[in-house]
Amino acid sequence: MLMVSVFCLGMIFLYIGCGGEETGTTTNETGNGGTVVEAKWSITPQTSGVETSLFEVCVDSASGKVWAVGDKGVVLASSDKGATWKKQDIGSETPIQAVYFVNENEGWIAGDGGTVLHTKNGGEKWEKQNTGATEKLRGLFFANNTEGWAVGDGGKIIATKDGGVSWAEQPSSTNQNLEAVHFAKPKPGEVVVTNGWAAGAGGTIIHTSNGGRVWTKQVSKNTEPIYGIHFDSDSKGWAVGKLGTILTTSNGGDTWNQSAAAAAQGKNLYDIFFINAANGWTVGSGGKILYTLDGKNWVSMENPSTKVLWGVAFIDTNEGWAVGDEGTILYIKRL
């Protein structure tokens, strides 16, 4: 897999119905008295066809296909940038917490009860895999079509080297619930993915430098839950969590520092996604959407909806989606 190919991922106070578009400028919040370059965005609600909560969204940049997953076994797919969404049948109503596609055809979903399902045809058919886990799996990451990891409650980490034909537990060094997992793309000239991080309750961040054979704790300087984590390289990373927490590291997590995040206004932040070292987005409670153009300073988009947003992913620096409660899907486009 090309690591860049898949992303599992206005100030006008007007309510715009489904299919409408809200356009405007954004607030300027740096948290340190500085000035940042801002962008203008449009936020377009899309019709999901469901009323259940959607927890995560994933985008294949090569094909433009998008998937969203959520409660009651809901899996949605779109091949026209969300103009229409099709519900896919997974054969159960097990809540699905995470989704990851390595290309337009092959992907995995994970959820409650140690559930992992796999598809080779874009989700037209899903097949259950035997994980050996019973815990809720909350986070999922695949480096390619063979190597993947899932994390969940009680510090559970399972990994596969054969696309999920078999899964094996990895010792995590924690019993805290883990919410998210992310591995950095290999360095130039390298092909093996080795550096990964997982994050969760109690400010937990753990790291592996050998593909998960050993996970060690890092000091986040935070005791609140961390819900999302993303690394652009083996050194540069971000994590988000409760009460507007945004943490950054430039040395692979040896040290974590609070980012300038006044724009979060204390809202919980549940997911984070970066397209490169400068351009990133995070979403959370109250419909909060933040973006950064420099990887440091965060600016708020004024979302016309206040529904909780659980997941975000972008196809490039200009287009992305956020998903959340009551079947909410927002198409976000830079103007």
Amino acid at 146: T
119-123, 170-174, 256-260, 300-304: range with lowest mean pLDDT: 256-260
19-23, 90-94, 246-250: range with lowest mean pLDDT: 19-23
Reported pTM: 0.90
Closest of 175, 161, 230, 166 to residue 198, by C-alpha = 230
pLDDT, one tens digit per residue, over 147-183 is: 999 999 999 999 999 999 999 999 999 999 999 999 9
Band (pLDDT 50/70/90 cuts) for residue 247 is: very high
Looking at the domain 6-334, which fold is it?
A: Methylamine Dehydrogenase; Chain H (2.130.10)
Closest of 129, 139, 125 to residue 96, by C-alpha = 139
| pLDDT (0 to 100) of residue 23 | 39
* Residue the block writes with tokens 């409760």: 242
Note whether 137 and 128 are within 8 A (CB).
no
**What is the maximum alpha-carbon separation in the chain?**
53
In this predicted structure, the answer to whether residue 28 has a pLDDT above a threshold of 60 is no
| pLDDT (0 to 100) of residue 34 | 57
| 51-80 mean pLDDT | 98
Q: Which residue has the higher pLDDT, 258 or 191?
A: 258
| Rounded Cα gap, residues 237 and 240, in angstroms | 11
| pLDDT (0 to 100) of residue 157 | 98
pLDDT, one tens digit per residue, over 253-269 is: 999 998 867 888 999 99
In this predicted structure, the answer to whether residue 93 has a pLDDT above a threshold of 60 is yes
Question: Kindly report the CA angle at 231 between 230 and 237, in degrees rounded to 5?
Answer: 90
| pLDDT (0 to 100) of residue 31 | 44
What are phi and psi for residue 56, nearest 5 degrees?
-155, 155
| pLDDT (0 to 100) of residue 192 | 83
